[in-house]
Structure 1
C-alpha cells in the first residue's frame, strides 16, 4: 500500500501547486488558504523542502501590517467569480493599502510556527542557506502578538475567534448557540454548491449568517472591538495550536541564537489559561466559551481533544480517556469524528458536523505520541492511511463507514498522508 499511496499523494500536491503556493483543491477552493498551507508544507517538505518553505513564505507575504495572517490569499489569475466571497467582497486594500495582495480579513488557527519548524528540520542546511527562519521568525512573532494582543476579548489571556470560518471548523454544532443570535444576510450567490452536494455543505441559513458576520467585520474596518462582534468565542483548537506554535517558536529562537524564554513563558501562560477556563473535568474535554454570555459551549466537538498537541498538558490523560469513550471510539474506529458520535446533532457526511478530517487526525496522532499513548497513535495512523488508500484524498470521510465526502484530491489530506508515511507505527 505505502509505495502506491505515496506516489498518489505526491501527485495531488504537484498538481495543486500554482507556482508559489498550493490550492486546497482545484474547483471548490481555487486560492491559498492559511492553515491549509501550514499542513501542506508538512507534506511538501518530504517532496521538495524548498517548495515547502516557499508555501509558507508566500502566505506570510500577504500578512497585514497589524500582524494578522489572512485566511485566504486570492490568486490574481483566478476569475473573481470562481469563489464566493471573493476579493471584491473583502475590500482588503482599504486597510492594507496599495501593493498588498488581495486577501480576506479573517484569520485561521495558528499552526504556522509548528509547520515552519518541521519544514526547517527536513532540510536544515538548505533552509539556513536561504535564510528561511531568520526571515519568517519576526513575521510569526507578529502574527502571534496580533492574536494575543488584539483578540483577548474575554480577559482570560485566550484568543477569541470572531467568525466560525476563523475556527477552521466552519459549521461545527459547537457554534449553533452563538450563531442563533445572528440575522442571516441575503443577496449573494454561493459557489460551493457548484462543486459539492448540498447535504455535505452548510445550510442556507448558516451560510447567510456567515456572510452577515463577514460583512459586519468589513464594514467596521476589521476593527477588533469585541462590542462589534455578535460572534466572539474562545476556541480550544485555536488556543491549543497557538500554544504548540509558541513551543515551536522557542525551538526556532534557539536555532537563531535568540532567547527562547519568552516563548516558553507564553506556552505556560496559554496552557494554564486553557485548562483553567476551557477544560471541563466532568466530561474530560475542553469546550469553547462564548465571550458574550460567559458560558462554556458544552458540545462534543473534536476541537476539545486537540489540546493534546500542547507539550506538558496536565490533563492529557483525561483527554486520552475521552477519545476512547463512546463519544469518539477512537481506539475502535481510528478515525476521529469531528463531533460526538452519540449526539443527535451528529451528521456523518456534513461539513464539520461529524465527518473525520485528516488534518485533525494528524494533530491527534501527534498529540497522542507526545503524551505517551503510542499504541493509540498507531491505530489513528493506520486508519488514516487505510482510509486514504480506500477512497482517495477526499476532503473528509464518514468515520463509521469511511465513505468519502467533499472535494477530491484535497491537498492537506495528501500532505498529512505523506508525513504519516515517513513514520513507523
Structure 2
C-alpha cells in the first residue's frame, strides 16, 4: 500500500468510521509540509520528534512512503553523538513564530562539540524514543515496498546510535535507565511530577524572552509564566554548557517511566529491524531485558501502585501520580502482580479508567490537578493510545475496547484536538492536531477483536508478546 488514500482502509460505506477517517486524513494532508508533518499549522510550525513518530504510525495507513519520509527527515537532523533533537526547524518559518527559536538554541555553533549538523538548525534537547517502534510498524504496513526501497537499512544505524546515546551519555543515574535533563524532554512539559525538581531552578528574567505559545493558546491552558521562566533557564544553561550530558551538572535530571518504557519497546522493535536487515538482534534483545529489569528495580512503587519518576538530584522517587506511570503496560513480560496493580490503579480513583472518556494526564485526587492546564489533568490521545495498547497486550480487552471507543468519539467531537477535558472530552489546546489524527487512523485500521500483542500486530510480527 503506497498510494495516498482519501480515508483509512476497511471502512464500510456510510459507516461513521469512514467520515472520521476522512477527517483524520484531511488533518494529516493539511499539516504535511513536503517532507514532514507539523503538529499544527499555528502553534507548532516545525517538526517535533515524538510527534513525527506517532504521526508516522498513523500516516502508514494513508501513504507508506510518506510515513517513511517522515521518519527519515527527522533522522537526517540527528547529531553525531546520536541524539535525535526534539525540534527540527523549518528555515522558512520566521523566528518570532515560535519560541525558543533557532537563534536561541544555536545548535550548529553551541552544539558543534556534540556533533550538531552544520546545515540544519535544531533544538538541543530530545523527546521520548518512539522512533524505532514507528519504523518497524511503517515497515509492516508494506514490507515489500519497504524492502524494495531499503527503508530499514537506511534507518537502522541511526536508530541504533539514538538508543546508544540514551543508554550511554544519558544514563546519568548509573542504573541503566535514560535520564531527561529538561521538562520538555519527557514530553509532558508541565506535569506536576516536575514541580519539586523545578523548585530548585531560578527562572530566567521575564523580559529576556517572549512566549509565542500564548499567541495561539489560552493562558489558562498553557504552562504558567513561572514554569516557563524555569524552562528557559534550564535550556539556556544546557546550551551554554555545550549540550554536555555525562560529567556536567544538571539542576534538573529525572528518570521517567514513560520514556524508558518506550525505549524498551523501541529496543525490541530494533531487534526486529536488525533481524530484517541481516544484523544480530541479540544485543538489542539483551538491552531490552536489562532495561526492563532496571525499570522495575528503580521506578516501580508498590505503595503507589504504578511507576514513579526518579529525581536524580535528590535520589528520591517523586510521589506524584501521572499517566507516565501507567504507560509501562506496553512493556512485555512484566510480573503479573505489577500488571494487576497497574490496571487497578488505572481503574481506581486516581485515573477512573472506564468512568471518564480517556486517561487523564494526572491523578484526579492530586493537589495539583487542573482539568484544563496542559499536562496537569487533561487527557491526551498519544498517552491514551499507549495505555490502550498495553491493556490489550495483557488481555484486558474489555477495558481496551472501551478506551478505544472513547478515544474515537473524542477525536471526532473535539475536532482532533491536541488534548481534551478529562471529564467531558471537550476540546482543549489547538485543533487539527497531528498525532490525534494519526492515532485515530491507527485505531480505525486495527482489528480490536484480534489476538494482538502490544502493538496491535499479529503474533508473528508483534514487537511485544501475547498476553
TM range (shorter): over 0.9
CA drift of 1:308 comes to 0.7
Counterparts of 1:362-373 in structure 2, within 5 Å, are: 362-373=385-396
Cα–Cα, structure 1 residues 97 and 148, in superposed 2: closer, same or farther, change >3 Å?
A: closer
CA distance in 1, matches of 2:124, 2:365: 36
Q: Residue 343 of structure 1 is aligned with which of 366, 370, 377?
A: 366
Task: Indicate whether 1:201 and 2:222 are aligned.
Answer: yes
CA drift of 1:97 comes to 5.9
CA distance in 2, matches of 1:175, 1:46: 36
User: What is the total number of aligned residue pairs between the two structures?
Assistant: 425
Task: Indicate whether 1:239 and 2:254 are aligned.
Answer: no
1:10 corresponds to? 25
CA drift of 1:98 comes to 6.2
2:10 corresponds to? none
1:334–1:381 contact (8 Å) kept in structure 2: no
Task: Indicate whether 1:384 and 2:407 are aligned.
Answer: yes
Q: Structure 1, residues 243-276: CA drift from partner, whole Å, max 9, x if none?
A: 0101101111121122211111111101100101
Counterparts of 1:14-163 in structure 2, within 5 Å, are: 14-94=29-109, 95=112, 96=115, 99-163=118-182
CA drift of 1:227 comes to 4.3
1:297 corresponds to? 318
CA distance in 1, matches of 2:392, 2:386: 10
2:180–2:186 contact (8 Å) kept in structure 1: yes
Task: Indicate whether 1:224 and 2:245 are aligned.
Answer: yes
Q: Which runs of 5+ in 1 are unaligned?
A: none
CA drift of 1:390 comes to 1.2
CA drift of 1:334 comes to 4.2
CA drift of 1:375 comes to 1.0
1:301–1:338 contact (8 Å) kept in structure 2: yes
Q: Which runs of 5+ in 2 are unaligned?
A: 1-15, 449-467
CA distance in 2, matches of 1:310, 1:70: 24
1:334–1:380 contact (8 Å) kept in structure 2: yes
CA distance in 1, matches of 2:378, 2:117: 41
CA distance in 1, matches of 2:123, 2:219: 24
Cα–Cα, structure 1 residues 169 and 128, in superposed 2: closer, same or farther, change >3 Å?
A: same
Counterparts of 1:165-314 in structure 2, within 5 Å, are: 165-186=184-205, 187-225=208-246, 227-314=248-335
TM-score normalised by L of structure 1:
0.99
2:86–2:125 contact (8 Å) kept in structure 1: yes
RMSD: 1.0
Q: What SS does structure 1 have at the residue aligned with 2:168? A: helix
Cα–Cα, structure 1 residues 97 and 347, in superposed 2: closer, same or farther, change >3 Å?
A: closer
CA distance in 2, matches of 1:227, 1:294: 17
CA distance in 1, matches of 2:169, 2:323: 26
Q: What SS does structure 1 have at the residue aligned with 2:137? A: helix
Q: Structure 1, residues 3-48: CA drift from partner, whole Å, max 9, x if none?
A: 1000000000000000000000000000000000000001100000
Q: Residue 355 of structure 1 is aligned with which of 350, 362, 378?
A: 378
CA drift of 1:331 comes to 2.0
CA drift of 1:333 comes to 1.9
CA distance in 1, matches of 2:130, 2:411: 23
